Amino acid sequence: MSLSLNTIILEPLSKSKPKNAVILCHGYGGDGKDISILASYWRFHLKDTIFICPDAPERCAASPHGFQWFDLMDQTREQILSKSLIAEIKLNKLIDEVKKIYDLPANKIVLSGFSQGCMISLQTGIKRKDKINSIIGYSGKIIDIDHLSKNIISRPNIFLMHGDADQIVTIEGLLEAKDFFTKNNYEIETKIFKDCEHRIPTEGSSLGLQFIKRHLN
């Protein structure tokens, strides 16, 4: 059985059967190779974990060499939500494939994402019937708060990080998400990086790793 999305896979350094899986979702216009840089750092400290870095399902409208989870160009809120629901189905399919191929329960799977990858990870992870272990999001936001508020199903561990100088997805995205999850009685951790733009800083990589180790082991 193969994965339904084109994917970079980093096998466990222990050479043994994976005990955990981390699925990393890239941002708008990126690809699995981009986000695999983060996986390459984490895997040295998580030697029994397999890292799955898919390309999003669509070619990016604004960057033909990259991919998108859903289109953001000249779209209404309703159109963005509608297209994100299609992406959610495809990410859910990938998660189910990882579970089956590597014989892993949902509570041994972590979703992580940057920017649009964070957005689709939050929407997908919260709505799954089988609770995944954690969601680690960088520089993202909730796609549609009204939609998500009506579709809360599971309560994975959540850690969101954001730069306060981000002009692509502003810090309000994190603040709104924190408020949403707090009001819905989630235990959520957040970190704001001072003078940081739209990127994952070194500290963010380290904090994400620590969060995974704390909750998976």
Which residues have CB under 8 Å from 1's CB, separation 6+?
Answer: 97, 100, 101
CB count, 10 Å around CB of 76? 8
Give the per-residue pLDDT at 1: 65
Contacts of 82 (CB under 8 A, 6+ apart): none
Q: Which residues contact 147 (CB under 8 A, 6 or more apart)?
A: 81, 123
Determine the pLDDT at residue 64: 84
Q: Tell me which amino acid residue 143 is.
A: I
Lowest mean pLDDT among 58-72, 78-92, 96-110: 58-72
Secondary structure (3-state) at 25? strand
Q: What is the pLDDT of residue 90?
A: 98
Q: How many Cβ atoms sit within 10 Å of the Cβ of residue 31?
A: 20
Per-residue pLDDT, 7: 98
H or E element in which residue 71 lies: none
Per-residue pLDDT tens for 96-155? Answer: 999 999 999 999 999 999 999 999 999 999 999 999 999 999 999 999 999 999 999 999
Q: Of the candidates 71, 48, 57, 46, which has an alpha carbon nearest to the alpha carbon of residue 4? A: 57
Query: Which amino acid, residue 41?
Result: Y
Which tokens belong to 130? 């089988």
Q: Is the pLDDT of residue 73 over 90?
A: no
Looking at residue 141, its amino acid is: K
The predicted model scores a pTM of 0.97
Q: In this predicted structure, what is the pLDDT of residue 14?
A: 97
User: Angle CA(201)–CA(169)–CA(62) in degrees, nearest 5?
Assistant: 105
Cβ-contact 15, 45 below 8 angstroms: no
Among candidate residues 156, 155, 104, 141, the one with its CA nearest the CA of residue 27: 141
d(CA 5, CA 72): 20
Mean pLDDT confidence for 15-36: 98
Q: Return the CATH architecture of domain 7-216.
A: 3-Layer(aba) Sandwich (3.40)
* Location of structure tokens 């089956």: 100
Can you tell me the distance from the alpha carbon of 119 to that of 152, in angstroms, rounded to the nearest whole number?
Answer: 15
Structure-block tokens of residue 53: 């870095």
pLDDT digits (tens, 9 = 90+) for 157-208: 999 999 999 999 999 999 999 999 999 999 999 999 999 999 999 999 999 9
